[in-house]
Structure 1
Amino acid sequence: MSRCGHPAGGRRGIPNLSAAGTRVYTVTGPTVLSADERPPPARLTAYDTTTGREAWHRETPGHFTGLAAAAEAAYVATTDGKPGGFTIAALSARDGSSLWQHKIAAGDLTSRVDPAAYLHDQDLILYAPGMITVLDRRTGTQRWTAETAAGVTLMRPPTIHRDVVYVPANQQLGGGVLRWRLADGTELPTLWPQVSGDLLTVSGDRVYLASGDVVHSQPL
């Protein structure tokens, strides 16, 4: 069994270990933005899964917030500590060279909303408490983006089922499950809008939402 050399560091809720193809990626160093200081960029390291040896490393182009991996690339979400958006970069799995970089403006959202990355087929889905954006993972071209209404927070990574994006949401008077068509971002009616839940699964022809010790279910 091969061993990769650096322990992964970070905080709960920000993926900082991911593997695909012949690479396993870790992020070490500060990943938290403090109100009093800005930590230096974190370090992304790629290891060869066969030998356990470091293949390459890069400093992240901003403060690390999310990581996803496919056979051809690592996708790194970062912020620069300023309001208004964040950056997602695709780095070649072979040598860490830049394949593309995309800046996403997010209204008055700040870097402290922890944008993170999620892969689904050829789509790269970026989500944060107040927004969701879908890119073509091969080119970085933005397919669509949606911001939630004021006070509505996306609670979990998206669930994709039959080309629909499901994300549980929370707000003062409820929340429910927000839904968009994956192809074009068309918003679909919210499920259980008066229920605040944060655990969601979709199986077969039914969707399930856990709220406390109650599990809600309905057909799709």
Structure 2
Amino acid sequence: MRLLIVEDDPVLSDGLSVGLGLSGFTADTVGTLADARAALGSSDFAGVVLDIMLPDGSGLDLLAELRKTGSRLPILLLTARDQVHDRISGLDAGADDYLGKPFDLQELAARLRAMLRRQEGRASAVIEWNGLRLCPATQSGQIRGKNLRFSRREFTILQSLIEHPGRILSKPQLEERLYGWQEEVESNTVEVHIHHLRNKLGREFIQTVRGIGYRLSGPADEGRPQ
């Protein structure tokens, strides 16, 4: 899942990007409100980790702007302002979650997974589709009694497809979920990961729609994953 981190401390920002990457997220980082607005206007993110105290204003202003336009983008406030009244103000302003500094990186990752799960309308931490069970917390799965391990990018592709059953996702759409701004996109990366996924799940699990992209082979009327 691709996240935008809005944090002006470069050491913390880099640490968040690397640490959340180990938990399966693709994270892009900016340090100002202006850059955050530009990023949100040009890229598609699953969620935002937002500091409140930024060089050019308050993260609460950006939160208010997004909610005023009707945006339901999941936002977690991450800030040193961790008094009870600060948390209440942030949540009442439209934040989906609030975590004070200092924090545990694993807790942050778990809160993000929970926040995104609610956004997707899932009650369970496990995603199920067509006999496959996926666990985002461990980037693992099970199918026909067989335990599976996935690389971060394999899991990202598979989760992206499962979240849109019946929909064809193009190669550029998948690449956008796989890579941050600073990462070089290799021309055949998606094809390689699809090949590895088919070896693990079965050749027919993921269909290639020639000239368009990829989709799952499950029945179209199964609806959203549970």
> Normalising to structure 2: TM-score of the pair?
0.29
More helix by share: 2
TM-score of the aligned structures, taking structure 1 as reference length = 0.30
Report which of the two has the higher share of strand. 1
Q: Of the two structures, which has the highest relative contact order with CA contacts closer than 8 Å and spacing of 6 or more?
A: 2
